Structure 1
Amino acid sequence: MATPAAADPTPTTGSGAAGGMRALTLATLFAAASGYLVMVVAGRTLGPVDYPLFATYWGAFFALGGVANGLMQEATRAVRSARVGAMPTPRTGNPVRLLPAGLMLGLVLAAVVVLSAPAWPTLGLPTFSGAGVAIMAFGILGFTLQAATAGALSGTERWSLYAALLTVDAALRLLVAGVAWWLGDAGLGFALATVAGTLTWALMIALSPAARAALASALDAGRGRFWRNTGAAMLASAGTSVLVTGFPLFVTATVRASDPAPLVGAVILAITLTRAPLLVPLTSFQSAIIVYFVQRRASGPRALVAPLGLVTAIGIVGAGAAWLVGPWLIRVLFGAEFELPGAVLAALTAASVGTAALMVTGNAALAFDRHLLYNAGWWVAVLAALILLVAIPGPLDVRSAIALLAGPGIGVVVHVAGLVVATRRAPAAAPRHAA
């Protein structure tokens, strides 16, 4: 059995925790900046007509990676819950080990990539003569092992190591994208850049005894419950992936004859750029948010007030900035072919508030051990967004903005209402410990 939490001291309080969170903040900023640079390099190299090929490949990979993030979320919850007072459930046989769990899940997802390859052309995904499929399969295997590592580091609040993982991941991706640009690559190099960071978990395991110790942490659930919870988290994470990283794929799949090709590339780029200031930090801090809510279960839905207020305020400020300087910034960084009106950029930035709020309420539902509610909110949001994207009349940019704001907004209502009802039925919001 893994060593009890009390015997494994980590910097969870005081100056050690504060330093770790500062490191995580800096790592998140670097990851966001490097992501922007990759997009700039790809946009400059490929142009508005070919850029959607890169964007859909990038989106498809991180959408599938987002599904794997369900393992990270459940690992974070299970490890942290075991450490804050809920002792691990007595188990028979071998306990769950996070790295083998990541390997098993990664192989399954890699097989999904390979088996789905015949459908790629109809979805607008470039195969690069089969090399793109192999690269994505290898990358998703590494991504899943990285998710297991990130969950262990987050659950034990080793924020400095988690920050190092994010930093190296982003740096590798940026490095490979720079090489692709230098070589004048037409696409395959950017596919390699997309997955390059997924080797980081191996470096962490090889070089850090603390990372290896985190992966040996006790969980608050037996094997059956752990995999049920992970499956539920992955199902909801699939919805997250559709709205966060996979949405460009749905945009290209719902393009109408009246939508010119350069507009499609410009809208996809604008969606990515305008959402990143909110969603990249939230994605990086997702484990910290889960820990935040785990430690505030007794507060119930009241714990949502501060995080939701913060993301709303940031979104409003960001929308104003996008209106004022967005067109100029895109013109300078990417070229006039990608430019959109300031009002469109402001609307897309404001729309990111809906998805950001849904991420916050979803993490709260997960932390409160309400996995079914977590799923319901995300998939209601996905269906609403896709229906709006297809059914609303008007140009692509208008349809996208409305779908990205209203769809997630409906999901937020589902999460909050469900948490209110659950709190009234069980005020203590005590975690369950069925094996």
Structure 2
Amino acid sequence: MTTPAAAESAPRPAPAPAGAGGLRALTLATVFAAASGYLIMVIVGRSLGPADYRLFASYWGAFFALGGVANGLMQETTRAVRAARGGQSPAPFGPRVRLLPAGLMLGLGLAAAVLLSWPAWPTLGLATHSGAGVAIMAVGILGFALQAATAGALSGTERWGMYAVLLTVDATLRLAVAGVAWWLGDAGLGFAVATVAGTLTWALLVAFSAATRAALRSALDVGRSAFWRHTGSAMLASAGTSALVVGFPVFVTATARESDSAPLVGAVILAITLTRAPLLVPLTSFQSAIIVYFVERRARGVRALAAPLGLVTAVGVAGAGAAWLIGPWLIGLLFEDEFVLPGPVLAALTAASLGTAALMITGNAALAFGHHLLYNAGWWVAVVAAAVLLLALPGTVDARSAIALLAGPGFGVALHLLGIARSGRAEGHPAP
């Protein structure tokens, strides 16, 4: 379930204490999944070219944005299973939750939403392949929800070795199908199938792993009603993150104008993915550690954000300089020359990644300080602002994208900082 795009977005449960072997396997699986995702980008980019790559990137982004919403089920399952195993909550009243049926129920709802959205796909620039692409995504998101339930059960029971297997098999299936599609010369449906192929992993683990089946039978610390309330809240929280991070290619494609050539749109989408990964992937990987950092410094209030924001700013500025100098050469080496954008454009897109990186920092601080509503509000303000800027700004798609990626999240960052500062004053913390 982890890809370069998905890794930027999908919130992960904080690892519980586990053996060194399990954590080592989980780290290696995460690295392999991210690397395989980048290899898929190279395969697809070299096969399709920039004009058609934008269609694949939008499809990929839409799928993982919707999958990010489904990850709310994984988060709540992880929490509920761990709390029940640790005896942190009393036994729930009411009907017991069965995890695979819960995943099936959520998956069917999301699949229905995909099918009902079909008429809007051409407007959003999503490839339908005469309806087959819609059906493939619907089946894929059903599998994603079942996989989220499985991943949550494995995480909650601290079966990190099996969770590593899930990540590895997921990435391997996706890479294998993409390779076969490239070998067969299927530039359409083959890559759509590759996008969702990994979501079969849950079924393989259930069929062949007794440990997985045992994890899925775990008790939860809440009843059915509370479980779905918590899951809905987690889904809302992750929806904004997914929409802005992995769903941004859909925004770019949907707001493209007649003056924006298809090759330019494809090149910009690829450049955005490549240039922001050095900041967003590590921030996602260390999300739990960042939250702990802020929890330990809650008494400092908004002042606790100075060092992390300064660090990501320094990294972003250095990355922008590197993108200006070697970015065109590197993209030309890995992809076709049509994907190459000028150094200043790559530098601007890299600098723009600071907006989302800063939003991730301030959002984690809001969560650590107990301001869940503020966390959600900041992300959704950023989503709306970025979409409006892409639609309303003048200029070419590369300039609009850079401004939207920096200024859109900037509104969310400002809201987070204002809310944290006001709460700090109310609690009697010293002003910054």
Q: TM-score, with normalisation over the residues of structure 2?
A: 0.84
Q: 1:81 Cα shift?
A: 5.2
Tell me the equivalent position of 2:332: 331
Separation of aligned partners in 1, 2:421 and 2:90:
28
Deviation string, structure 1 residues 301-322 (Cα, Å, up to 9, x no partner)? 6886776566555444433332
Q: In the comparison of the two structures, how many residue pairs are matched? A: 411
Check the 8 A contact 1:290/1:367 in 2, yes or no.
no
Q: 1:360 Cα shift?
A: 4.5
Q: 1:61 Cα shift?
A: 1.0
Alignment of 1:229-248 (within 5 A): 229-248=230-249
Deviation string, structure 1 residues 291-350 (Cα, Å, up to 9, x no partner)? 874797564368867765665554444333322221111111111111001222122223
Alignment of 1:256-295 (within 5 A): 256-283=257-284, 285=285, 289-290=287-288, 293=291
Q: 1:416 Cα shift?
A: 4.5
Tell me the equivalent position of 2:385: 384
Which of residues 59, 62, 68 is equivalent to 2:61?
Answer: 59
Deviation string, structure 1 residues 186-235 (Cα, Å, up to 9, x no partner)? 21100000001111122233333443344344545443333222212222
Alignment of 1:20-419 (within 5 A): 20-80=22-82, 87-283=88-284, 285=285, 289-290=287-288, 293=291, 297=295, 299-300=297-298, 311-312=312-313, 314-363=315-364, 365-366=366-367, 370-419=371-420
- Residue type matched to 1:174 in 2? L
Separation of aligned partners in 1, 2:156 and 2:290:
11
Q: Return 5+ residue gaps in structure 1 as ranges.
A: 1-10, 428-435
Q: 1:418 Cα shift?
A: 3.6
Separation of aligned partners in 1, 2:145 and 2:119:
23
- Residue type matched to 1:237 in 2? S
Residues 19 and 344 (structure 1), Cα distance of their counterparts in 2 relative to 1, 3 Å cut: farther
Separation of aligned partners in 2, 1:193 and 1:203:
17
Q: 1:151 Cα shift?
A: 2.5
Q: 1:184 Cα shift?
A: 0.6
Separation of aligned partners in 2, 1:34 and 1:89:
43
Separation of aligned partners in 1, 2:84 and 2:348:
42
Check the 8 A contact 2:81/2:221 in 1, yes or no.
yes
Check the 8 A contact 1:365/1:373 in 2, yes or no.
yes
Residues 21 and 399 (structure 1), Cα distance of their counterparts in 2 relative to 1, 3 Å cut: farther
Q: 1:372 Cα shift?
A: 2.4
**Aligned-residue identity in percent:** 74
Separation of aligned partners in 2, 1:91 and 1:342:
58
- Residue type matched to 2:396 in 1? P
How much is the aligned-residue C-alpha RMSD, in angstroms?
3.0
- Residue type matched to 2:333 in 1? V
- Residue type matched to 1:43 in 2? G
Q: Return 5+ residue gaps in structure 2 as ranges.
A: 1-14
Residues 158 and 304 (structure 1), Cα distance of their counterparts in 2 relative to 1, 3 Å cut: farther
Check the 8 A contact 1:315/1:353 in 2, yes or no.
yes
Deviation string, structure 1 residues 75-131 (Cα, Å, up to 9, x no partner)? 33444555677x224422223333322111011001111111122222221211221
Deviation string, structure 1 residues 14-58 (Cα, Å, up to 9, x no partner)? xx4444343333222222221111111111111111111111111
- Of stretches 254-263 and 417-426 in structure 1, the one that deviates more from structure 2 is 417-426
Q: TM-score, with normalisation over the residues of structure 1?
A: 0.84
Residues 113 and 267 (structure 1), Cα distance of their counterparts in 2 relative to 1, 3 Å cut: same
- Residue type matched to 1:339 in 2? V
Q: 1:60 Cα shift?
A: 1.3
